[in-house]
Every structure is written in structure tokens, then in C-alpha cells.
Amino acid sequence: MSIWYHLGRKKSDFGQVYLAVSVLCWSLSGLVELCSIYLFESVSTYSSEGFRSVFSLFNSFFILLALPWFKYIPKKIEGIVKSKYWLVIIGVPLLFSLLATLSKIFLSQEVNLISELDVYYSIFTLAFLAMILWESFSRRGLKLLSYLSLVCIVVTFFAQLFKLSSSTYQMILAAIFKTNLVMLFFALALSWVKEISESIDLDPNKIFLKLYKRKSEKEKLENVAAISGIQNEGFQEIILTPGVYALLLKFAQRKFEANDWLEIKPKNDDRSNKIYDIKDYNEIKRIVVSVLDGVFGKSTWTKEKHELPLKNALFETSNKRNRNIRLLIPQGNISFEK
């Protein structure tokens, strides 16, 4: 909640609030269990189990409410999670399960497996949570946490199955998985804080570029761009496709030899016989994306924090004609294979 107060509140991001409330539901569930054991021994087993199931249902519900606020959501479920019907999709099963669970409390009798609908609802939640946790950690370059989250989800799943069987191991598993999930939520929150707090502040004068070709271990010719000044001072080698390498080499040669501009073809200039240096703006984007993938890794960078700063540090456009573009890196910082 304090993370939300300092950061999320300014962006109207309520994901942290829902996750905080979901953890609070776990706390209340534990409190009910302690009270039923030490303070209210006369309370029926079904009543205490019923109240714990109610808090378990709301715990799952608030986790599901938080999912649309996650920045990284797998494309195969994004349409569902971000749908305007998401509240209906998760709300209707909640109401149905809640009615069955309340019957356990007020009737003081077990209604077979239907009274454990909180288990099925939690398994439904786990399926979505597993995919989104994996995507969130992996897209931030935290692969180990991605695998740990899956391990935790598996433990949680078995804990729910043991709950149905009333196994004596259920309480131990519950303590383990709840602790692990809370720690994962903390890791998720801290990774989110890290991502929004870090941005690449690039100085074109400190960026160095080397372009050359070499033979790989399989005797294939590779197009290599060695670049420094983005992530650290050392050179990082990036393997480029022939098209991206050819255009970047053209930029480097034009900058090195005459500090001259390259011209981008206008969108509607289909009749002209003039040959342009660049067919469209997407060719510039492919250079930037290739460098980002090589330096930071695929799917670990964002447009706002990485792509736009790098593009502004690598290239400049002419004030006279915005279709004229050249490298912003100083001539002395460029070397290439002629």
C-alpha cells in the first residue's frame, strides 16, 4: 500500500491496492483459524471453515481484480483480462461460490464438494496468475523469478487439492504457499519499482560504434555491431541482419566521410524515379530495436524508457527537412570495415 501511495497513486494504478487487500484476506483467514482454536472453541468446525473459505474467495477475487493492471500480460489472455466483461467473468463465479460457502456457515453442515468452491475458484485464479507472473518477471529479465513463481504455483495447486481431501498436510502446505506468494508479490512490486525508476540517460558523445564482419564457428559470415556507452563502458557485440547492418553501415560511412544526411522516402512518392537512402521510417526502428535486443535482451526493454531515449541519442533529423536523418554520434566515435 505504501508503494501504491508513493508511486501507483500518481498514475491511478490500483493494482497494488488489490494485491494488498488480497494479502489482507489471507491474514483475516489466519486470524479466524487462530480464534476458533484458542478463543472460541464452541464455534462449529463448519462455521470456522466457512469463514476461512469466504476470505479465501475474496483473496482470489482481489488477485483477479489486480491482473488487468499488470503491465505485461500474455497476448493469448490479454483480450480476456483487459475485457470490459472481466468483472462479470470473475464476479459471477464469486457470487455462486459465496452462496454455497455461506450455506456451510449458517446451516452448520457440509454440502459435499460444492462447499469447497473456493478451491475451484482459487485454481481458476492460479491459472491466470501463473501466466501473468511468468510474463511479468521474464519481460523484466528476471528469469529465475519466473521459474520460482511456477514452482510456487505448483505447490499452491497441490495445497488446494489437499484441502479437498482434508489431509493433515494441508495446513503446512497452506503456510508454505501463502508465504511464498506474498514474497513473490513483494518481488513483483520491487521489480515494478525498479523498472519505473530506471531509465537510460544517454550521451551521444559517449557512445562508440564499430562495424565489421567476421566468420562464426560454423564458418558463416556475421554482421557485427560493437557498441559501448549504452549499458556500460565496455563494447557489446550485436549480430545484425544483412539489411539492418547495411543501413547502419551507410549511416556510419556518410557520417564519417562527410557528416552528411540520409534521406527518407516520402510516403506518397510512388511516381518518382529518384532513389532514396531509406524506404520508410520502419528501417530506422529496426536498427534501434536490434541494438536494444542485443544490449538488453529481447522483450526486456520498454518504448518509453529505452527505445525513445536510444533513438534520440543515435539519430538527429534536419531542421529544414524532417525526412533528412543522420547519426548523432561524433565522427571520432565511429569505426568500420571499409
Full pLDDT tens readout for the chain, 338 residues: 887 777 667 667 788 889 889 889 888 888 877 777 666 655 545 566 777 788 888 988 999 999 998 888 888 998 999 898 999 999 998 888 888 777 766 665 554 444 477 778 888 888 998 999 898 888 877 888 889 888 888 888 887 777 666 656 667 777 777 788 888 888 888 777 776 666 667 888 989 999 999 887 777 889 999 999 887 667 889 999 999 999 999 999 988 888 888 888 887 766 667 788 888 889 999 999 999 988 877 766 778 788 888 999 999 988 766 688 999 999 999 998 75
What CA–CA distance (Å, rounded) separates 314 from 333?
Answer: 12
Which pLDDT score is estimated for 290?
Answer: 92
Which pLDDT score is estimated for 158?
Answer: 81
C-alpha cell at 297: 535482451
What CA–CA distance (Å, rounded) separates 205 from 312?
Answer: 12
Which pLDDT score is estimated for 315?
Answer: 92
Which pLDDT score is estimated for 168?
Answer: 64
Which pLDDT score is estimated for 90?
Answer: 92
Which pLDDT score is estimated for 248?
Answer: 92
Q: Which of 167, 163, 185, 148 is nearest to 16 (CA)?
A: 185
C-alpha angle 181/185/191, rounded to 5°? 140
What CA–CA distance (Å, rounded) separates 151 from 226?
Answer: 38
CA dihedral 121, 125, 126, 131 (to 10 degrees): 150
Q: Indicate the helix (H) or strand (E) that contains 213.
A: strand 208-215
What CA–CA distance (Å, rounded) separates 151 from 160?
Answer: 14
Which pLDDT score is estimated for 239?
Answer: 92
